[in-house]
Amino acid sequence: MFVDVAKIKIKAGNGGNGAVAFRREKYIASGGPDGGDGGKGGNIIFQADDNLSTLSDFRYKRKYVAENGQGGSGSHKNGRDGASLVIKVPRGTLIKEAESGAVMADMSDNDTFIAAKGGRGGWGNPHFATPTRQTPRFAKDGTPGEEWEVVLELKLLADVGLIGFPNVGKSTLVSVVSEAKPIIADYHFTTLVPVPGVVRMGPESSFVIADIPGLIEGASEGVGLGHEFLKHIERCRMLIHVVDVAGSEGRDPIEDFEKINSELKNFSEELSEYPQIVAGNKVDLASDEQLDRFEKYIRSKGLEYYPIIAPIAEGTQVLMNATAAMLASLPPIKKYASEEIPLETFVKKQNTGFTVSVEDGIYFVEAEWLLKILRRTDLDDYESLQYFQNVLQTSGIIDALKEKGIHEGDTVSIYDLEFDYVS
């Protein structure tokens, strides 16, 4: 089954807790604190895999969790880091944050992407020793690993997309110009999944062409199968519009041409402006009058036109030569830039629960929802810092600190952030 959209939950490992321990050996008095640090939690890592072509595996497993870091122990022994979890996806998969729809990564190249970072290991009690606090009896817990609900969306990677009504010969064209072997039959919607094929133009020259499942009128509004696959055209550099010029199913080829282009425009204005070549298929079944009428119409639109008979590869090489020539002047396949996840997303979904504790004059604040905001706050940027302070105020954390008796200049610790309190 071809699956091109999936929603999953990912959870990086939590950092291990720091240890509270003291060195106690014979003949060594007041050995001092020697608790080890906790290990770092494992990351959730995505990697493109060319052996995968669908997201069907994610229909059966919806939650992925990396290993937690281990806690520290005495004698300055640090905990082991948690193992990262690598999730393999088809090349061309977009990873989006489910709530905001922001693109986190485009898995189109060989780079891996850390989608959820493991929590940092907590500090053991030696980190808190000072000249006035020589035996700290507390340590720091590890921070939680990042947790996200993400949408995986596969967008086909192809230089050229074949568009047109069902049964106009797109699958046949792909089969004769490339090594792809799509299902070919004389009925509508034979092709149920996008079928890519490599067209080899020479020893070091090739491009990828993809048969996009048949579009029909109303596809952009959900009619037929085409609406499910219009998004796969978005990465293409150009389009070949295949038209049955003989009108062998009783339709007017000019109307077919206009209806498909109308569906592209309804789906995306940008898509309707892609470079396009028109291939008039089934010319052997058309009259001279039909051929002349259609060709004049297409050329009046300023488009290149090539007559073909796909089953016997008549005219297909000329069409591929023209396609390669056009591709040479076009930019590479579209890659989606990563987007910043709005901080409002975390605030809107936040569970405002938190805890405030005091150890040896340090005020510890813990709240997993706040950690996500903290990790995306630029503390060197005034507006970003102001936003974070506003979150502390509106969530009730500042009031809770006051209730615990905090004073000007006291230290506040929020996971990886420590600062002096200013009233």
Share of the chain above pLDDT 70, in %: 88
pLDDT value at residue 27: 62
Domains of the chain: 1-155 (2.70.210.12), 160-327 (3.40.50.300), 345-423 (3.30.300.350)
* The pair of three-digit structure tokens given for residue 39, joined into one six-digit string: 């290990």
Is 337 a residue whose pLDDT tops 60?
A: yes
When mean pLDDT is compared across 149-153, 156-160, 288-292, the lowest value belongs to 156-160
pLDDT value at residue 26: 67
The residue with greater pLDDT, 364 or 132, is 364
pLDDT tens column, 245-271: 999 888 999 999 999 898 888 877 888
Is 228 a residue whose pLDDT tops 80?
A: no
pLDDT value at residue 53: 81
The residue with greater pLDDT, 127 or 301, is 301
The residue with greater pLDDT, 211 or 83, is 83
Q: How many CB atoms lie within 10 A of CB 372?
A: 21
- Cβ atoms of residues 247 and 257 within 8 Å: no
Is 297 a residue whose pLDDT tops 70?
A: yes
> Is 255 exposed, middle or buried, given 0-12, 13-18 or 19+ CB atoms closer than 10 A?
exposed
Mean pLDDT to the nearest integer, 350-364: 80
pLDDT value at residue 48: 95
pLDDT value at residue 417: 83
Is 304 a residue whose pLDDT tops 90?
A: yes
pLDDT tens column, 8-52: 999 999 999 999 888 877 665 556 888 899 999 999 999 999 888
pLDDT value at residue 152: 95
pLDDT value at residue 223: 42
pLDDT value at residue 189: 41
pLDDT tens column, 156-201: 888 999 988 888 888 899 989 987 664 444 434 444 467 788 899 9
> Mean pLDDT across the chain, nearest whole number?
85
pLDDT tens column, 61-75: 999 999 999 999 988
pLDDT value at residue 84: 97
pLDDT value at residue 155: 85
Mean pLDDT to the nearest integer, 79-93: 95
> SS3 string of the chain?
CCCCEEEEEEECCCCCCCCCCECCECCECCCCECCCCCCCCCCEEEEEECCCCCCHHHHCCCEEECCCCCCCECCCECCCCCCCEEEEEECCEEEEECCCCCEEEEECCCCCEEEECCCCCCCCHHHHCECCECCCCCCCCCCCCCEEEEEEEECCCCCEEEECCCCCCHHHHHHHHCCCCCCCCCCCCCCCCCEEEEEEEECCEEEEEEECCCCCCCHHHCCCCHHHHHHHHHHCCEEEEEEECCCCCCCCHHHHHHHHHHHHHHHCHHHHCCCEEEEEECHHHCCHHHHHHHHHHHHHCCCEEEECEHHHCECHHHHHHHHHHHHCCCCCCCCCCCCCCCHHHHHHHCCCCCEEEEECCEEEEECHHHHHHHHCCCCCCHHHHHHHHHHHHHCCHHHHHHHCCCCCCCEEEECCEEEECCC
When mean pLDDT is compared across 151-155, 312-316, 390-394, the lowest value belongs to 390-394
Mean pLDDT to the nearest integer, 116-134: 85
